[in-house]
Amino acid sequence: MNKTILTTGFFLLSFMFPLKILAAQNYEDIYVFGDSFSDTGNAFNATNKTFPPSSTYFNGRFSNDPVWVEYLAQELGLSFNPRNNFAYGGATTGVNNISDPALPGLQTQIANFTAENPSANPNALYIVWAGANDYFSYFGGGVPNPNQAVANISAAVTSLAVIGAEDFLLVNQPDLGKFPVANFNSQIPSLFSTLTDAHNSSLNATINFLNQQLDPDVNIISFNVNDLFRRIIAEPKEFGLTNATNYCIQDLSVVPLNLPTQPVACNPDEFLFWDPVHPTAAAHRLIGESAFSVLKPVSVPEPSNVLGVLAFSAFGAVSVLQRHYQLMQNKAI
């Protein structure tokens, strides 16, 4: 009977180990593809450190400090490696770049990566966030097509999966109709919001399709940054911000549009937007933290808590069995 009790205890304890593995989701590295929301200096270095201008932008970032992928790496316990970031400011989901024709779009970024890396690290996280410039191209006479933009993103993910990439984070679009760049024309907000909705709906369907069609080892996680921006814009104070409408700087050379300036006294730590298109570092930090919460299994308690609770339950069950056994023995006597 003692052997039975011991076996039961180990059986109960064995349930702890799968939960421990599930809670410890780790990546060896991060690879990034996309546009200025994620660029950590590629466009800056490719333009002889002129774009974006260092007078108003931080160290080649399209913001006033680090961008979200750097904050995400920190949350994941990784040292961010800029050489693994292929995102360029101005990139569309295709081969074009609306800021500088000499700079690559998403498809060129992917082609360059796969040419240099015939085998991708299966233990890394691959981030793809692109599409905003497909819609901002409208200002230059472009005809935005959400279906084509999402098809391009799908092609990018498929190309990476073919060479062995397994874990992906795909980011949808915040409501571009709520960006300051859309506020200078009464018709633009509605148009951009409609394009955003179409993009995000198509992207959701595509993620579901790819998760079913690609290798079973491939895992594509959707990051709903649209919902985060919606909540920030609705209640900025809840996120430590005071202004989710205006933007900080008056140098608009990065935005290829003829826009009037908005003189606003700005504390960037309290603003959502640094310029009419790009978030502040404060917003990027929120994006990075939110992305981390998506990647971290939220339905599973911390390993220490899980182990503590289960250990208590398991040993408690063993104690009950032992007492029951003693009672049976006493009755037998």
Cα distances from 104 to residues 11, 87, 99, 216, in angstroms, run 56, 9, 10, 31
**210-236 per-position pLDDT tens digit:** 999 999 999 999 999 999 999 999 999
- In the predicted structure, residue 244 carries a pLDDT above the cut 90: yes
> Can you give the pTM of this predicted structure?
0.83
Distance CA 161, CA 148 (A): 20
Query: Which range has the worst mean pLDDT, 87-91, 142-146, 220-224, 313-317?
Result: 313-317
**177-211 per-position pLDDT tens digit:** 999 999 888 899 999 999 999 999 999 999 999 99
CA neighbours closer than 13 Å in the CB half-sphere of residue 105: 18
Sole residue written with tokens 């498809």: 107
Give the CATH number of domain 26-296.
Answer: 3.40.50.1110
